[in-house]
Copies of this chain bind each other. A is one copy, B any other.
Amino acid sequence: MKLDSAGLRVLSHEECMNLLATAPIGRIVFTDRALPAVQPVNFVLDGTDIVIRTTVGSKLAAATRRAIVAFEADAFDPEGRTGWSVTVVGHARAVDDPAEAERLAGLPLTPWAPGSRDHYIVIAAEQVSGREITGG
């Protein structure tokens, strides 16, 4: 069992991707007007890519175009003080190719927010790290 400097168990790449697949919501971390910004989004995995939907004119679409972003998902149990978190860092790109957008439209990814959201952002999982806190 590998522990990090904080005493948390380090998750393997495979554990990280398996846990990410269980999370309905993640948080995309980017820079907005030189300030740190974070926004929860629902998402789906496409292989190891993270796929989210937004509107073409959104702040998120503008801020993540050709940017390096972080994406985090987690689940915690406050009673047992256990849980896990996984963070991905990688390049975000807007999907401009209609054929790719059509393929992504077939993924099980329905926006929670109202309105039409047919703009796709794909984050490549270039760095993946995760930790587990086991309580006690």
Contact = CB atoms under 8 A, between A and B. Distances in A.
Contact of A35 (B6, B70, B133): B70
A27 B25 contact: no
Contact of A40 (B57, B59, B68, B76): B76
A5 interface: yes
A18 interface: no
A37 interface: yes
Interface string A14-40: 000000000011010111000111111
A95 interface: no
Contact of A55 (B6, B69, B72): B6
Given A8-B113, A24-B76, A36-B36, 10 more contacts: A25-B78, A27-B72, A36-B69, A36-B70, A38-B38, A38-B87, A39-B85, A39-B87, A40-B72, A40-B74
Interface of A: 5-8, 24-25, 27, 29-31, 35-40, 55, 57-59, 68-70, 72, 74, 76, 78, 81, 83, 85, 87, 89, 112-115, 133, 135
